[in-house]
Structure 1
Amino acid sequence: GHYGVDGNRHLPREQWTRLAHLVRAVAAIPGDFRVRLSSIEATEVTRELIETLADAGDKVAPHLHVCLQSGSDRVLRRMRRRWGTRMFIDRCRLVRERLDEPAFTTDIIVGFPGETDEDFEQTLRTSRDVGFSKIHIFPFSPRRGTPAATMEDPVPDAVKAERGERLAALETELRDAYFQRLVGRRLRVMAESHVDGNARRWVGTSCRYAPVEFDASPDSESQLIDVRVSHQANDRLIGQRL
């Protein structure tokens, strides 16, 4: 995250390079390809970036992986993060207003030192408010040399595990709700691997980061294929090639 900060450090603001500038330049490259933005911060999700994404067409996936890390403002301050939950939710709302059913995925740490039951409940509420389709869940582990490694009030491993399970259950609920909204839609899917050794049955990642299973010719690997989603089957969508 925080694209361009090093190069911008000694430049006047009007000369700064921003993430939107990079995305705009990439989207202008000729060819049939797709890129997606991953591991960015809420502070980078500006109106300029959102408009750039809206104008990019199929070149940039309608999916943002924005790192939340905690849904509690108190924990975010202890982590020394530069965003709060209200900013995070508002930035995602702006994206949703401008893009067509975008996907939001994130990283969340459970059991950061000092995280209370109420802090964790706030993380659940924030996750629900955003409507993530995927949450990468990490139990906190101390890393030598970091301020967090020596913080007081460590969270017991059993509590971390219980919180991780609850967050994973919520993730499944939110994922299923999002997948249901994709039923009937056309998704652009990259054919990545065969299903059960069937050379004509493929599964791949869609533009909205949902795995989709579909039929296509044996030589379809790495191709971007338009698929109409018919239904959900557990952790993936099923569709037909258009």
Structure 2
Amino acid sequence: MSAGDPSRVGSYHIHTWGCQMNVHDSEKLAGVLEREGYVPATSEDDADVILLNTCSIREKASEKVFSELGRLRRLKRTNSNMLLGVCGCVAQQEGENIYKRAPYVDLVIGPRAIDSIGPALASIRDGGRGALRVTDTEYRSDSIRFPFDEIRRIGESRAKAFVTIIEGCNHRCTYCIVPTTRGREVYRPMADVLQEVRVLARKSVVEIEFLGQTVNAYRDSEGNTLAELLTATAAIDGIRRIRFTTSHPAQMTERLMDAMAAAQPTVCAYLHLPVQSGSSRVLRAMRRGYDRETYLAKIEALRSRIPGMLFGTDIIVGFPGETEDDFLQTITLLDEVQFDTVYSFAYSPRPGTRALELDDDLPPAGKHERLQRLQEHQKGIQAARMATWLGRSVEVLVEGRSKRNEERWTGRTVESRVVNFVGDSAPGRLEWVEITETTPFSLAGRVRASDLDRRRLAPI
């Protein structure tokens, strides 16, 4: 198949699991496919190419992918021309093993080889090997350009866009497989990032979210850090909001915190800062590179610079060796910090991680009991914090229709609060919403008045 030949291309469908990095990778996959002449399928059943963009963080991630492949095999039997591919972290982790266990898979694409999917599909369509592996595991330098970011496909909320600035992770937390699946850190030149942001701003994007497995470790070959990038991005005309995720506490420097404060209110007053445990002893076993006191000092330093700043976090309960006292220290950390969002998980071992060597003496039932206790405790904290928003008017960037109620719109405040509301609106608008209801997880209300400087949306 020649690239862009309309007589030979077809439609595609992408399943996406995992974090914002995977969501953005799916946008890039879609962009590459559309550059080659493919169009989005109306449904999975009608697709000529189905891609699974996978995540390896959660328990039994690979088995869930193979289960999904088994389901799609039946669909492939009814459409012999359909091509099936596995992308993302499970593709990188499993590699050739995917072909051994699922020989009907046509291609395997690692996270760092997204731009090769077009030639791979063309080769297969033209009679090449069906089991074509095009994963790429390492970059040869610590700096990399992502030219295919410019042709990614942006979702329904045209006012918001993800921008990758760093790939990989140099930390070696004992429970984590990410350094194996994503490799060591590589950084985009700041000039390239800013060029992309300017293009997005000209297309009426008003919110930028910088992405990386350890996004605040960013440092390009000229020495520019995330601090300089935030300052420069905030100065770009049209950019109203800047977010970045996911951060590591060890890289939350004074320089970065000062830059965040100086760029208020453009840099959003919300930060996702994974703590994983409230016990310094457990944090040492995890090799996180900080203790409880250091983490709390970072929170205090940020709140002193940016009053009213909100925080989210990740927590693992039942890590090998965690005692009841260790767990209770995590509970007291919730009380002390007053997180607004907590993603919590029961520990489960991952092949290839150092934690496999540790004595995991707490049975699964004990882990899940602690997880339930933690989630109930945090639910109470969130309910109380959310209740303080009742009656307030907040600016919301509209993302689209609510998945639970098509009569409502949904979006986020600058503090990352989810708001569902009724009234005249459209994706990408900035609306002022009066809050009339609260739950532990979201706010609800009605449009009070439209933002007076709402801009006309340009097609992307």
Under a length normalisation based on structure 2, what TM-score does the superposition of the two structures give? Answer: 0.47
**Cα deviation per residue 1:177-218 (whole Å; 9 max; x = unaligned)?**
2213333444321212334222xx312222212211223324
Task: Name the CA distance, whole Å, in 1 between partners of 2:390 and 2:303.
Answer: 18
CA distance in 2, matches of 1:186, 1:48: 33
Q: Measure the CA separation in 1 of the matches of 2:378 and 2:247.
A: 20
Query: Within the alignment, does 1:223 sit opposite 2:429 as a pair?
Result: yes
Q: Are positions 1:28 and 2:235 aligned together? A: yes
Q: Does 1:192 align with 2:407?
A: no
- Counterpart of 1:232 in structure 2: which amino acid? T
Structure 1 segments unaligned to the other structure (5+ residues): 9-14
Tell me the TM-score normalized by structure 1.
0.86
Greater CA deviation, 188-197 or 99-108? 188-197
Q: Pick the structure with greater CA Rg.
A: 2
| CA shift in 2, pair 1:55/1:7, >3 Å | closer
Cα distance in 2 between the residues matched to 1:122 and 1:27? 38
Q: Is the contact made by 1:19 and 1:44 (CA closer than 8 Å) also made in structure 2?
A: no
Q: Within 2, Cα distance between the matches of 1:7 and 1:47?
A: 19
Return the alpha-carbon distance in structure 2 between the equivalents of residues 234 and 121 of structure 1. Answer: 22
Three-state SS of the structure 1 residue aligned to 2:372 is helix
2:282 to 71, 75, 80: 75
For 2:371, the aligned partner's letter is G
Q: Percent identity?
A: 33
Q: Which residue of 2 aligns with 1:3?
A: 216
Query: Which amino acid letter does the alignment assign opposite residue 68 of structure 1?
Result: V
One of 261, 272, 287 as aligned partner of 1:54: 261
Could you tell me how far apart the structure 1 residues matched to 2:218 and 2:261 are? 24
Q: 1:119 to 1:18 in 2, by over 3 A?
A: same
Instruction: Please state if 1:38 is matched with 2:251.
Output: no
Per the TM alignment, residue 221 of structure 1 is displaced from its structure 2 partner at its CA by 0.8
- Cα 1:90/1:183, change in 2 over 3 Å: farther
Residues in 1 aligned to 2:292 and 2:423: alpha-carbon distance in whole angstroms: 43
Larger strand proportion of the pair? 1
AA aligned to 1:197 is E
User: Is the Cα–Cα contact under 8 Å of residues 386 and 440 in structure 2 kept in the other structure?
Assistant: no
1:118 is the counterpart of 2:331: no
1:133 aligns with 2:329: no
Q: Which amino acid in 1 is paired with 2:415?
A: R
Deviates more, 1:207-216 or 1:58-67: 207-216
Taking the aligned partners of 2:223 and 2:384, their CA distance within structure 1 comes to 39
Q: Give every structure 1 segment of 4 or more consecutive aligned residues whose post-TM-superposition deviation is greater than 6 Å.
A: none
Task: Tell me how many residue pairs correspond in the alignment.
Answer: 233
> What amino acid does structure 1 have at the position aligned with 2:325?
E
Counterpart CA distance in 2 for 1:49 and 1:197 is 40
Check conservation: 1:36, 1:61, Cα contact below 8 A: yes
Aligned pair in 2 of structure 1 residues 44, 36: CA closer, same or farther (>3 Å)? same
What amino acid does structure 1 have at the position aligned with 2:438?
Q
1:169 CA drift (Å)? 0.8
Taking a change above 3 Å as real, the CA distance of residues 54 and 184 of structure 1, as seen in their structure-2 partners, is farther
Question: Which of the pair has the greater relative contact order for Cα pairs under 8 Å at 6+ separation?
Answer: 1
RMSD (CA atoms): 2.2
CA distance in 1: counterparts of 2:433 and 2:414, whole angstroms: 11
* Residue in structure 2 matching 1:85, options 261, 286, 292: 292
1:148 corresponds to which residue? 355
Q: 1:94 aligns with which of 268, 289, 301?
A: 301
Kindly state the Cα deviation for residue 176 of structure 1 after the two structures are TM-superposed.
1.6
Unaligned residue ranges in structure 2 (runs of 5+): 1-213, 450-460
